[in-house]
Amino acid sequence: GVTEVVTPGVAVDDKLLDHKSNNYLASVFFGRKGQVGVSFLDISTGEFLVCEGSTAYAEKLIQSFNPSELIFSKDRRKEVEKLFGDKYYTFMLDEWVYSFDYTREKLLEHFEVQNLKGFGIEEMELGQVAAGATLHYLATTENKNLRHINAISRIQPDRYVWLDRFTVRNLELIHSNHDSGVPLIKILDQTVSSMGARLMKKWVVLPLKSIPAIESRLDMVGYFLDNAGLSGEVEQYIQQMGDLERLISKVPLGKINPREVVQLKKALGLINPIKELLLASDNAYLAKIAEGLNPCRMLKEEIGRQIVDDPPVNLAKGGVIADGFNAELDELRNVVQNSEGLLEEIQKTEVQRTGINSLKIGFNNVFGYYLEVTNKYKNQVPPEWARKQTLTNAERYITDELKKLEARILGAQEKILDLEEQLFEQLVLSLADYIQPIQHNANLIARIDCLLSFARVAKKNRYCRPKIDDSLVIDIKQGRHPVIEQHMGLDEEYVPNDVCLDNEEQQILMITGPNMAGKSALLRQTALICLMAQMGAFVPAESASIGLVDKVFTRVGASDNISSGESTFMVEMNETASIMNNISDRSLILLDEIGRGTSTYDGISIAWSIAEFLHSNGLARPKTLFATHYHELNELANKFSRIKNFNIATREVGHKVIFLRKLVPGGSEHSFGIHVAKMAGMPRSIVERAAHILTQLEQKSIDNGTEGTADGIKADKPRTQNISTEALQLSIFETVDPTAGKIKTALLDLNLNSMTPIDCMMKLNELKKLLEEREK
């Protein structure tokens, strides 16, 4: 019958798992009023997490935890498809499974408790339903022995910085948005164990909001930095430890092999040296971690007593149980080991008795041991020998004595394998009693590994210790982008910048400057420095004083959601609306080129009103970096006291523009778009023509008509018909080419305002085909 059903979320085979990532099975339960319960279970480690909150919160968590499989009730298929599309492998369960009474009973039964108060989830009804449905699903996939899942923890939103799904994506914390890109995790994760690598991913997407918790991490990182010798020793021990967390989780699942049991013994042997090193340190936090480490000496000694030092992976090969552990096993092994001598004795006796000097004893799987006689001597064979096989040059015989010895030898070998299997299974059963202390060890070792990684990265990249306080000020001196600075050319050096934000005088920095000058990098580096500080890591700056941040919001870069028929502008407005509805005094907001997905005047109006709202909403003063190419927004600084103008400095040398990448006070007057076009390789004639048109536009701004105004600031609409066309070459539409005429007509007939991005792409493809037909 079926012994096991393997799906992506319940895989435990090492070949199917990424050793640096958790393999989560996520369960989602939709409650009333937009509330959702979510659970995450990694069956390969025993980690079981539960949370509840808004749909947006659930979506953000699922994106951050990136489960291998998502389960939900059949009647919620539309909601799941709307939220997640086809990003995850999914499985639908019957509606009755997601009932509160049934799922709660599953949890109480599994954890053998009367209530769930001890886990802190007694009041989390939605979360309980999601978690209980997970246990039901495991039972249907034949995963019945789950002793390593011995606790369930709640993810507490108030403990961590709020990062919505857009921010996790835009800041490229775990995954890059480009094939050749590098996410932050690649810089920070210098862990030497799989356990550490998995924990690091969680630390990166769940920065802390508790100052004492952050300071304790920073203290430990600082200690490791100052004590390189101790750090190196601890690191070496962790490196040899293997994946303690997944090793012990294989025990109840019956998946652990003899060699892995010996690795477990080796790992436990490394706990004590680490414990002693940390206890001897003068860091109270490290000493506290050390006190929690349990070397499990009795278990380590028992494994050493029962299992050989270098056993085979496959138990069926034998030679797993150590000599001297079991008297019956030793006796059986003695029979097998002495059998060679007994066989030689029989051969010697028969040679002397029969005079057949070429007589030899052999063995095959068909009829066991035999005596082989060449044809030359077959007439000398005694009558009591029984012939079993005739060959071209010889004959094979058996005797009663040989058969009796064979029965002893083969019986002993079979019994040895059976007995070794029994003894190994008994040992594995006894290992199950140590699941909790070993899981606790794994958790502490992973934590130490992450802190060592932070220290190593800080030393290598010249990071400083940030100061964390409960003020409302972010003051970064000579800050750098942690990813970009690591990927500069040999002759390039990252230009650091100062950023200061507060709630009283400098709440919003309106940053102008040309495209490619470094506005986006500056925005991202500020957020990354704040988040790294609250992860408990040192940061890429000369100094950094961070008033605790509770939420980070980003709206950076353009991203059409074409598959859903949503334009760049629609995506941008969705993300911006999410920000405006969730701000607080401790929020950090990054807005990059708001409004560029629509017409210039619509864009300016929206960007202006957003800046106004952030400044004067009367509820909160979120610290904001606002990068824009709308120079009209510089006027805001004259009207609102906490908005300050800055720009990314440039220098014009002749007809060239040099990007200085330095943030300086004051607004920028030019965007240097034509220069960027030149850098991109645009044909020289187009660049020169654009410069000519720009000069004319700047000279002939209209005085008698405006497209729109903002608080009296004119947004003049240039009369493009006044632009001279003398220098312009004959237009493609003024030729006698009939194909060009068709394209012109098609373009003039288009109503762009009513078209989706998909419609535009299809029309563009149609026009392209017209040109291709002409070329034929």
Kindly state whether residue 209 falls inside one of the protein's structural domains. Answer: no
Confidence bin at 135 (pLDDT 50/70/90): very high
With a cut of 60, say whether residue 758 has pLDDT above it: yes
Side-chain-side CA neighbours of residue 223 (13 Å): 20
Task: Please write the tens of the pLDDT for every residue from 38-64.
Answer: 999 999 999 999 999 999 889 989 998
With a cut of 50, say whether residue 578 has pLDDT above it: yes
With a cut of 90, say whether residue 674 has pLDDT above it: no
Kindly state whether residue 193 falls inside one of the protein's structural domains. Answer: no
DSSP string of 243-301, one letter each residue? -HHHHHHHHHHT---HHHHHHHHHHHHHHHHHHHHHHTSS-HHHHHHHHH----HHHHH
How far, in Å, CA of 221 to CA of 203, rounded? 14
| Nearest CA among 372, 367, 361 for reference residue 410 | 367
With a cut of 80, say whether residue 586 has pLDDT above it: yes
The mean per-residue pLDDT over the stretch 748-755 comes to 75
Better-scored residue on pLDDT, 103 or 488: 103
Burial group, residue 415, by CB count within 10 angstroms (0-12, 13-18, 19+)? middle
Burial group, residue 248, by CB count within 10 angstroms (0-12, 13-18, 19+)? buried
Q: Measuring CA to CA, how many Å separate 487 from each of 283, 481, 521?
A: 35, 10, 13
Please give the pLDDT value at position 104.
96
Confidence bin at 713 (pLDDT 50/70/90): very low
| Nearest CA among 294, 288, 286, 296 for reference residue 231 | 286
- The strand pairing partners of 499, in sequence order, are 476
Please give the pLDDT value at position 652.
65
CATH number at residue 553: 3.40.50.300
* One domain for residues 689 and 762: no
Task: Please write the tens of the pLDDT for every residue from 4-29.
Answer: 678 888 888 888 888 899 999 999 99
* One domain for residues 620 and 480: yes
* One domain for residues 721 and 735: no
- The strand pairing partners of 664, in sequence order, are 647
Please give the pLDDT value at position 700.
57
Burial group, residue 273, by CB count within 10 angstroms (0-12, 13-18, 19+)? middle
The mean per-residue pLDDT over the stretch 194-213 comes to 96
Question: What mean pLDDT value characterizes the chain?
Answer: 86
CB 620 within 8 Å of CB 582:
no
The mean per-residue pLDDT over the stretch 401-406 comes to 87
The mean per-residue pLDDT over the stretch 330-350 comes to 87
Please give the pLDDT value at position 774.
65
Residue 314: phi, psi to the nearest 5? -90, 120
Say what the pTM is: 0.80
Strands (DSSP E) along 399-483, which ranges?
Answer: 467-469, 474-479
Task: Please write the tens of the pLDDT for every residue from 359-402.
Answer: 999 988 888 899 999 998 888 999 999 998 889 899 999 999 88
With a cut of 50, say whether residue 720 has pLDDT above it: no
Kindly state whether residue 439 falls inside one of the protein's structural domains. Answer: no
Type of residue found at 38: V
CB 336 within 8 Å of CB 413:
yes
For strand 508-512 and strand 643-653, is the pairing parallel, antiparallel, or unpaired? parallel
Q: In three state form, how does the secondary structure of 503-537 look?
A: CCCCCEEEEECCCCCCHHHHHHHHHHHHHHHHHCC
How far, in Å, CA of 370 to CA of 361, rounded? 6
* One domain for residues 416 and 468: no
| Nearest CA among 205, 210, 214 for reference residue 171 | 205
Q: Which residues, including other chains, have CB under 8 Å from residue 284's CB and lie 6 or more apart?
A: none
For residue 350, how many other CB atoms are within 10 A of its CB?
Answer: 22
* One domain for residues 487 and 616: yes
Kindly state whether residue 702 falls inside one of the protein's structural domains. Answer: yes
Kindly state whether residue 751 falls inside one of the protein's structural domains. Answer: yes
Tokens at residue 595, please?
Answer: 């409004």
Please give the pLDDT value at position 565.
45
The mean per-residue pLDDT over the stretch 438-450 comes to 97
* One domain for residues 665 and 747: no
Kindly state whether residue 482 falls inside one of the protein's structural domains. Answer: yes
Of the candidates 400, 427, 454, which is a domain's last residue?
427
With a cut of 90, say whether residue 575 has pLDDT above it: no
How far, in Å, CA of 609 to CA of 655, rounded? 36
Q: Which residue has the tokens 């932050």?
A: 184
Residue 475: phi, psi to the nearest 5? -130, 100
CB 621 within 8 Å of CB 630:
no
Q: Measuring CA to CA, how many Å separate 115 from each of 53, 104, 151, 376, 436?
A: 22, 9, 13, 86, 20
How far, in Å, CA of 354 to CA of 351, rounded? 5
Kindly state whether residue 163 falls inside one of the protein's structural domains. Answer: no
- Quick one: what percent of the chain has pLDDT higher than 70? 86
Of the candidates 98, 132, 155, which is a domain's last residue?
155
For strand 713-716 and strand 706-710, is the pairing parallel, antiparallel, or unpaired? antiparallel
Please give the pLDDT value at position 677.
63
* One domain for residues 613 and 533: yes
How far, in Å, CA of 11 to CA of 400, rounded? 53
CATH number at residue 117: 3.30.420.110
* One domain for residues 526 and 418: no
Please give the pLDDT value at position 742.
73
Better-scored residue on pLDDT, 746 or 315: 315
CATH number at residue 348: 1.10.1420.10
Q: Which residue has the tokens 């000398």?
A: 380
Q: Domain containing 418: what range?
A: 327-427
Burial group, residue 639, by CB count within 10 angstroms (0-12, 13-18, 19+)? middle
How far, in Å, CA of 562 to CA of 303, rounded? 59
Three-state DSSP class for 360? strand
Count of all residues that appear for the chain in the document: 776
CB 495 within 8 Å of CB 632:
no
Of the candidates 373, 406, 427, which is a domain's last residue?
427
Secondary structure letter of residue 571 according to DSSP: H
In this predicted structure, which of 277-286, 441-450, 503-512, 741-750 has the lowest mean pLDDT?
A: 741-750
Please give the pLDDT value at position 555.
84
Better-scored residue on pLDDT, 727 or 489: 489
* One domain for residues 31 and 92: yes
How far, in Å, CA of 131 to CA of 49, rounded? 8
With a cut of 70, say whether residue 693 has pLDDT above it: no
How far, in Å, CA of 695 to CA of 718, rounded? 12
Confidence bin at 709 (pLDDT 50/70/90): very low
Confidence bin at 715 (pLDDT 50/70/90): very low
The count of domains in the chain is 5
In this predicted structure, which of 223-227, 252-256, 497-501 has the lowest mean pLDDT?
A: 252-256
Strand order in the sheet with 543-547: 467-469, 543-547, 474-479, 497-501
Please give the pLDDT value at position 258.
96
CB 318 within 8 Å of CB 416:
yes
For residue 485, how many other CB atoms are within 10 A of its CB?
Answer: 19
* One domain for residues 28 and 94: yes
* One domain for residues 740 and 719: no
Rg (C-alpha) for the chain, rounded Å, is 37
The mean per-residue pLDDT over the stretch 206-223 comes to 97
Task: Please write the tens of the pLDDT for every residue from 729-740.
Answer: 333 333 345 666
CB 504 within 8 Å of CB 656:
no
Tokens at residue 63, please?
Answer: 């994106």
Give the H or E element holding residue 238.
helix 228-241
Side-chain-side CA neighbours of residue 730 (13 Å): 6
* One domain for residues 695 and 753: no
Kindly state whether residue 2 falls inside one of the protein's structural domains. Answer: yes
With a cut of 70, say whether residue 724 has pLDDT above it: no
CA–centroid distance for 560 within its chain? 24
Q: In three state form, how does the secondary structure of 89-102 look?
A: EEEEECHHHHCHHH
Please give the pLDDT value at position 271.
97
With a cut of 90, say whether residue 340 has pLDDT above it: no
Confidence bin at 343 (pLDDT 50/70/90): confident
Confidence bin at 722 (pLDDT 50/70/90): very low
Task: Please write the tens of the pLDDT for every residue from 57-83.
Answer: 899 899 989 999 999 999 999 999 988
CB 103 within 8 Å of CB 132:
yes
Please give the pLDDT value at position 335.
83
Please give the pLDDT value at position 11.
86
| Nearest CA among 69, 58, 45, 63 for reference residue 174 | 63
